[in-house]
Structure 1
Amino acid sequence: MCGIVGVVGNPQTTSILINGLKKLEYRGYDSAGIYVTDEQGHDILKKRVGKIANLQQALDTNDQGLAGIGQTRWATHGKPTEANAHPHFSEDKRFYIVHNGVITNFNELKQKYLSDVHFASDTDTEVIVQLIAYFAQQDNSSTLTALQKTLSLLNGSYAFALMDRQEPDKLWVAKNKSPLLIGLGDHFNVVCSDAMAMLDQTHKYLEIHDGEIGVISKEQVQILTLDGQAVQRDPYTVAMDATDISKGTYDSYMSKEIDEQPAVLRRIAKEYYRDQQPVISPDLIAEMKQADRIYIVAAGTSYHAGLVGQELFEELANVPAEVKLASEFGHHLGKLSQRPFFIFLTQSGETADSRQVLVQTKALKYPSLTVTNVANSTLARESDYALLLHAGPEIAVASTKAYTAQIAVQAILAQALGQALNYQPKHPIDVLNQLGLAANAIQTVIDQKDKLEKLTEDYFDKHDRAFFIGRGNGYMVALEAALKLKEVSYIHAEGFAAGELKHGTIALIENQTPVVAFILEEATAAHTRGNVKEVVSRGAHTLTIAKKSLAQSDDTIVLDDLNELLMPLVAIIPGQLFAYFAAKHRGNDVDQPRNLAKSVTVE
C-alpha cells in the first residue's frame, strides 16, 4: 500500500514522477502529491485527493525541476484530505518528505520534542519531517546528522524519501520494514517503492536494507548504516519489460490476469521441470526433509492457496502441515513442533504481517522458504530460500493468477519432497501432466465468458449478498471465490463449509439468496448435493460447479477432470469471472477496489 517515487538530476522530473505514480496506482491509494525543485530554489508542492488525474490537472507547464518526490497515499493516520496527503513539510518549509509505513511512537515524539510546532496534518509522517527540522535547527546539524538522530528515535515501519531546499540536488532515503529501491539512471538516479514504477527509466537497481540510509545525487549513490559506515552493494537488473505491465487491449488488469493463467501454469512447468522431474534446490529439499511439520504462513488469497498446499504436502509427502494467518500467528506463535519448517506465501514478498512472523522464526533459528512473485523482495531476500511464481506482474488489487501459481508451485515442491523422502502416495499424481491438463481446463472455462457473464447477471447483479459452499477442496475454493466477489463487487459474500450450514448459517438463507456450490471430490459429493437441496428448500437460487466425473445433468458449470487435490486450479476460475463481471456491471473500478491495497506493508 502507498507508493513512493523520487528523481534527482533529470529535467523531466515532473513527468517521471507522475508516470511513476500512475504505475503504482495498483497498490491502492486515496490521494497523491509531488514536490519538485530546481537548483535555483524554485519549487512547487501539489497535492490532491482522489485519482492521480486530479493531481495532473493541478499542474501546469511551469511546474518543472531537476529533483522531486511523490507519493500515492493510503490513509492510516488521518482522513483522506489534501492536508493529510504527502509530501509533508517542516514548519520552516525547508524539508519535504514522502513516507510509507506507520510510526507507532509518533505521539510520544510529538509531545517530547515538538510541543511548540504547528502541525498542518493529522499524520504520523509529519512528525518525521518536523523532527528532522528540529534537530537541524537545534545543533545547526547537517541534514544527514539530523536524519540519523531522527531515525534513532523512530519505532515502527517506514520507507521515505526526503528533500532539503538548501541542498536541492540530493535525495535522502531510509527504510525499516517497508520496501524501497534506488534506481540507477544515465546521469540521474531515481527512488521507488516498486521497480515497476521506474522501468521506463532504468532496469538497474540497488537494494536498501532495513536500518540503512541512502544519499543520492545525479552522479552518486551512497548507502550508509545508521552510524555512518559505508555499505558496498552491487546493483541487480530487473528483467521485466515495461510492456509487461501494460493492459494491452484489455479493459482491466484483472481481466488480463485471469486470461494469463493457462500461460502461467505452462511457464511454471517449464521453469521447475527437467526430464519430467521436478527441479528444486537440493539444499532446500534437504532442509525440508528434517522437518516434522510444515507451517504455511500467509494472508488473504495466499492463505486460501495455503489451505490447498496443506493437503498437497500431507498427501504427496506425508509431512504434517498447517496453515496460519500471518496477522494472528505473529502475535500467537503458540507451541511449535520440534523441527518446524516455515513456508511464506506472498504475492508481493512485502507483506508486513508475514515478515513479522519471519523475523520471529529467524530469531528462533528455524528454516524458512518464501514463495513469491517478486524476486529481490524483502521476504524473498530475508528467508533462507525463495521460489518464484513466474506469474509475471500482477497489477490488479484482487489477486487471481498468483493464487493458481502458488498452488502449482506448492504441488511441485510437495512432489519433490515426497520423492526425496521415498514416500509412495496412495494416489500418486503426475504433477507435470496435471499442470498441463489444468492449463487446458482453465482455458475451457475462460472460453465460456459469455455464459459466465449471463450467469453473473442472473445470480449476482440484483443481489447484495451471496454464499459459496463446498467440502474439502471445494470449501477452500468457496473461501477464495467469496473473497474475490466481495473485494471487487462489494457484494457481501461468504464462503462456508457445506456441512456447517445446518449448524447456524442456514438461518441466513432467504428467497432467491444466491448460493454457489462446489462439488469437487468423490467422498463428499453426495453430502454436498444434500446441502444444496437443503438451501433450495428454503428458497435459495443455487448454482452448482462440478468436476466432470461427478457431474449431473442439472449442474450449471461442469469442469474438466483433474486430480482432486488440484481441482482448485480450475474451480476458482468461474469465481474469479463472477467477481470481475459483477464489479464491471456495477460500474466499480475493477482493478482498484475501494479501501484496498495491493501490497499490505503495514501490520
Structure 2
Amino acid sequence: MCGIVGVIGREDAPQVLLQGLQKLEYRGYDSAGIYTAGAGSARLVKAVGKIAALAQAIGPDVTGTMGIGHTRWATNGRPTEANAHPHVSADGRFYLVHNGVITNAAALRATYLSDVTFASETDTEVVVQLIAHFAQGGLTAHDAFVKTLGLLEGSYAFCLADRDDSAVLYAAKNKSPLLIGKGDGFNLVASDALAMIELTDQFLELNDGEVVTLMASQVQIEDLAGQQIDRAPITVTIDAAEADKGPYPFYMLKEINEQPIVMRRLLAAYTKADGQVEMPAALLSALAAADRLYIVAAGTSYHAGLIGKPLFESLAYVPVEVHLASEFGYHLPLLSAHPLFIFLTQSGETADIREVLVKVKKMGAPTLTITNVVTSTLAREADHVLALHAGPEIAVASTKAYTAQVAVEALLAKALGDFKGTEAATKFDVTHWLSMAAAGQQTLIDQQARLHELATTLFAGQDRAFYIGRGSDHAVSLEAALKLKEISYVHAEGFAAGELKHGTIALIEPGTPTVAFVTDPLTAARTRSNAEEVAARGGHVAIIATSDLAEVGDDLVVPAIEPRLTPLVAIVAGQLLAYFTSLDRGYDVDRPRNLAKSVTVE
C-alpha cells in the first residue's frame, strides 16, 4: 500500500518525483503530495485523488534539487488533503512520507506530544512530530530520526527531508519495501524499482532496521546502533516499455493479452532445449525431503495455490495444504514432521505472507518464494526463489501474474516428480501442455467481442452473480468471482457446484446470473445438473465448457487441453467478463476503489 519516491541532486526534482509517483500509482491513488527544496525554494503541494490532480496543482514555481513524494492508500485517516503525505512537523522543519502502520502511535503521542496540535488523523504525523520533538531537545536531524525509529512498533518505510539542510535525505525501513537508486551525481529512493528504472539500473537493497543517509554523491547505510554497512549495488533490468500502456485503453487489458507471451517466456526460462524442466538442484532436494508442502498465499495467489495443489499431489506424490496467510500467521495448524513452505506472492512484499515466513524460518523449516519481483523482501529472505517472469503488472486486479504462478507450479511439480522418478511425471509433457495453454489463451483473447457481448447479457443491471464448478473449476470460479467483484463492484461469489443445494441456491432469483465452468471430464455431467437446478429457479445460466465436453447451446467453448492445466485457459474468460463489465459501467478498470496492488500492511 502507498508509494514513496525521493530524489536528491537533480535540477528537475519535481518532475522526477511526479514521474516516479505516476509509476507507483498502482500502490495507492486516493491522495498524493510532494515536498521539494533547494536553490532557496521550498514547497509542499498536496492533492486529493489521483496523481493527475497533483500534477495540475504543481505550478512552474515549484522547483528544487531534492524532494520527497507519496501516493496514498488510506489506512490511518480518511483520504483528505490534511491526511495526504508528506506530513510536516509543527515547527515546519521536517517533512516525512511513510508506507506502513505504526501500531503504538497513540501511546507515543500521549507520552511525548501532548502539547502538540496535530493537523491530520494519521500515525505518520506522530512520527514527524516526534522527530521534531527530539531535534528541539538538541539532537541532530539524523540522531532525532534514529531515536524515533527506536521507539516505533509496526511497519514502516520512511523518507525524511529537513528544511534546514536541503543537501540530505534520510530513509529507513521495517517490514515495508524500500530501495535506493544510485545515479550519476544524484541518488533516489522509492518503494519499487519501477519508479526509478528510467533513471538508473543500479540499486541498493535495504534490510529491516537499516537507516540511510542520501546525498547527491553519496549513500551511507547503517544499523540502528550506528554501525556502518557496506553493500554493493545490484543491477535491475526492467523493460520500461513493458510498464507502458501502449495502444491499450487500460493496463488490465494489456496484461490479459500478454498471458500467452508469459507462458512462452516461462518455458524459455525453465526448460532446456530438449524440453526437460530445469530447476535448481538444491531446491529439488529440499522439496523431495519434505513430507508435506504448505502453500501460503493471499487473494488471487491463494487461488493459484488451489490450482497447484493437485499438480504437486498427482505428479510428485506429496501431500499439499493451501492456506490463507492472514489466518495461518496467527492460527498455526499442526504441522508435519518435515514441512516445506511455498509462498506465492506477486509483489514479494505481502505483509501477511512475510509474517508467516518469519515464523516458519524460526522453526527451521525450508522456504520457497515464487514471486514476480526477485529483489523483493520475501524473495531475499526465503531459502529459495523462483521468478514468475511476468513483467510489470500495473493493474490492481492480477491477471498475468496469476497464470504465471499456476504455470510455475506446474513446471516445479513436473521437475519434482522427475527428480523423485514418479511414473505420473514421466507421462506429463508439461512443455507441450503449457504451449497448448498459451494457444488456448490466445483463442479466447481473440474472442473479445463475444465475451463483451456475454458480459453485457449476463451482468447489465445486476448487482450480484455466482460462478460454479467442481475440482479445479471450483478454484477458477473463486478467481473469476474475485475479478468481477474487484473491478465492477458486482457482489460475486464462487462456489463448488455441488454445494449450491446445501444453502446457496436459496439466493437464486429470476435473472440471477450464474456462470458454470465445465472443463473437468470427471464431473462435467454433475456440474451441468447443478446449472440446471439454477435455471429451474429462474437463474440466468451461462455455460463455459471445453471443446471436448461442449454441448449445443453452451455460451462459450474454450480449447481442451490437459485438465489439470485447463484453468490457465478458462480463467481468461473470467478475466475478460470482469473487464468488460467494469468497462460498461464506466469504472476505472485499473484502479478499483479501496484497493491497492501491493498489500504491505496486515
Sort the TM-score into its range (normalised by shorter chain).
over 0.9
Secondary structure of the residue aligned to 1:278 is coil
Q: What residue identity is the alignment partner of 1:469?
A: I
- Judge conservation of contact 1:29–1:73 (CA < 8 Å) in 2: yes
Q: What residue identity is the alignment partner of 2:244?
A: S
CA RMSD of aligned residues (A): 0.9
Structure 2 Cα separation of the partners of residues 431 and 554 of structure 1: 32
Q: Deviations over 1:498-556 (max 9, x none)?
A: 00000000001000111000011111111111101100100011110111111111211
Give 1:84's aligned residue: 83
- Judge conservation of contact 2:418–2:426 (CA < 8 Å) in 1: no
Secondary structure of the residue aligned to 1:512 is coil
Secondary structure of the residue aligned to 2:423 is coil
User: For 1:14-33, what aligned pairs fall within 5 Å after superposition?
Assistant: 14-33=14-33
Give 1:511's aligned residue: 510
Structure 2 Cα separation of the partners of residues 88 and 462 of structure 1: 43
Give 2:252's aligned residue: 254
Give 1:169's aligned residue: 167
Q: Aligned in 2, Cα 1:136/1:250: closer, same or farther, shift over 3 Å?
A: same
Secondary structure of the residue aligned to 1:182 is strand
2:10 counterpart of 1:10: yes
Give 1:195's aligned residue: 193
Structure 1 Cα separation of the partners of residues 332 and 451 of structure 2: 42
User: For 1:338-487, what aligned pairs fall within 5 Å after superposition?
Assistant: 338-425=337-424, 428-487=427-486
- Judge conservation of contact 2:28–2:596 (CA < 8 Å) in 1: yes
Q: What residue identity is the alignment partner of 1:27?
A: R
Structure 2 Cα separation of the partners of residues 299 and 494 of structure 1: 17
Give 1:185's aligned residue: 183
Give 1:602's aligned residue: 601
Number of aligned residues: 601
Give 2:243's aligned residue: 245
Structure 1: which 5+ residue stretches go unaligned? none
Residue 56 of structure 1 deviates from its aligned partner by 1.4
Q: What residue identity is the alignment partner of 2:266?
A: I
Structure 2 Cα separation of the partners of residues 462 and 268 of structure 1: 40
- Judge conservation of contact 1:347–1:402 (CA < 8 Å) in 2: yes
Worse-superposed segment, 572-581 or 196-205: 196-205
Structure 1 Cα separation of the partners of residues 239 and 476 of structure 2: 33
Q: Deviations over 1:19-47 (max 9, x none)?
A: 1111111122210000001143x211011
Worse-superposed segment, 550-559 or 152-161: 550-559
Residue 188 of structure 1 deviates from its aligned partner by 0.7
Report the TM-score when normalising by structure 2. 0.99
Q: What residue identity is the alignment partner of 2:30?
A: D
Identity %: 59
Structure 2 Cα separation of the partners of residues 548 and 116 of structure 1: 71
Secondary structure of the residue aligned to 1:115 is coil
Secondary structure of the residue aligned to 1:549 is coil
Structure 2: which 5+ residue stretches go unaligned? none
Q: Aligned in 2, Cα 1:426/1:160: closer, same or farther, shift over 3 Å?
A: closer
User: For 1:66-145, what aligned pairs fall within 5 Å after superposition?
Assistant: 66-138=65-137, 140-145=138-143
- Judge conservation of contact 1:302–1:345 (CA < 8 Å) in 2: yes
Report the TM-score when normalising by structure 1. 0.99
| Poorly superposed stretches of 4+, deviation over 3 Å | none
Residue 288 of structure 1 deviates from its aligned partner by 0.7
Residue 53 of structure 1 deviates from its aligned partner by 1.4
Q: What residue identity is the alignment partner of 1:21?
A: L
Secondary structure of the residue aligned to 1:53 is helix
Structure 2 Cα separation of the partners of residues 494 and 151 of structure 1: 43
Secondary structure of the residue aligned to 2:229 is coil
Residue 241 of structure 1 deviates from its aligned partner by 2.2
1:210 to 208, 214, 222: 208
Structure 1 Cα separation of the partners of residues 407 and 425 of structure 2: 20
Secondary structure of the residue aligned to 2:548 is helix
- Judge conservation of contact 1:39–1:169 (CA < 8 Å) in 2: no
- Judge conservation of contact 1:429–1:563 (CA < 8 Å) in 2: no
Residue 461 of structure 1 deviates from its aligned partner by 1.9
Give 1:37's aligned residue: 37
2:323 counterpart of 1:324: yes
Q: What residue identity is the alignment partner of 1:246?
A: D
Structure 1 Cα separation of the partners of residues 59 and 395 of structure 2: 30
Structure 1 Cα separation of the partners of residues 394 and 322 of structure 2: 26
Secondary structure of the residue aligned to 2:412 is helix
Structure 2 Cα separation of the partners of residues 489 and 583 of structure 1: 4
Structure 1 Cα separation of the partners of residues 277 and 360 of structure 2: 28
Give 1:269's aligned residue: 267
Secondary structure of the residue aligned to 2:222 is strand
Worse-superposed segment, 142-151 or 169-178: 142-151
Q: What residue identity is the alignment partner of 1:251?
A: P
Structure 2 Cα separation of the partners of residues 407 and 51 of structure 1: 33
Q: What residue identity is the alignment partner of 1:47?
A: K
Structure 1 Cα separation of the partners of residues 265 and 163 of structure 2: 49
Structure 2 Cα separation of the partners of residues 571 and 28 of structure 1: 30
Structure 2 Cα separation of the partners of residues 490 and 369 of structure 1: 34
Residue 429 of structure 1 deviates from its aligned partner by 1.8
Residue 145 of structure 1 deviates from its aligned partner by 1.1
Q: What residue identity is the alignment partner of 2:59?
A: D
- Judge conservation of contact 1:305–1:406 (CA < 8 Å) in 2: yes
Q: Aligned in 2, Cα 1:426/1:401: closer, same or farther, shift over 3 Å?
A: closer
Residue 428 of structure 1 deviates from its aligned partner by 3.3
Structure 1 Cα separation of the partners of residues 25 and 308 of structure 2: 31
Structure 1 Cα separation of the partners of residues 399 and 427 of structure 2: 28
Structure 2 Cα separation of the partners of residues 243 and 454 of structure 1: 31
Q: What residue identity is the alignment partner of 1:483?
A: L
Structure 2 Cα separation of the partners of residues 419 and 330 of structure 1: 32
- Judge conservation of contact 2:543–2:556 (CA < 8 Å) in 1: yes
Q: What residue identity is the alignment partner of 1:295?
A: Y
Q: What residue identity is the alignment partner of 2:83?
A: N
2:588 counterpart of 1:589: yes
- Judge conservation of contact 2:414–2:425 (CA < 8 Å) in 1: no
Secondary structure of the residue aligned to 2:341 is strand
Structure 1 Cα separation of the partners of residues 451 and 174 of structure 2: 45
Secondary structure of the residue aligned to 2:403 is helix
Structure 1 Cα separation of the partners of residues 71 and 58 of structure 2: 16
Structure 2 Cα separation of the partners of residues 33 and 231 of structure 1: 31
- Judge conservation of contact 2:477–2:495 (CA < 8 Å) in 1: yes
2:276 counterpart of 1:286: no
Residue 58 of structure 1 deviates from its aligned partner by 1.3
Residue 427 of structure 1 deviates from its aligned partner by 9.2
Q: What residue identity is the alignment partner of 1:297?
A: V
Residue 408 of structure 1 deviates from its aligned partner by 0.4
2:153 counterpart of 1:155: yes
2:530 counterpart of 1:531: yes
Residue 426 of structure 1 deviates from its aligned partner by 8.8
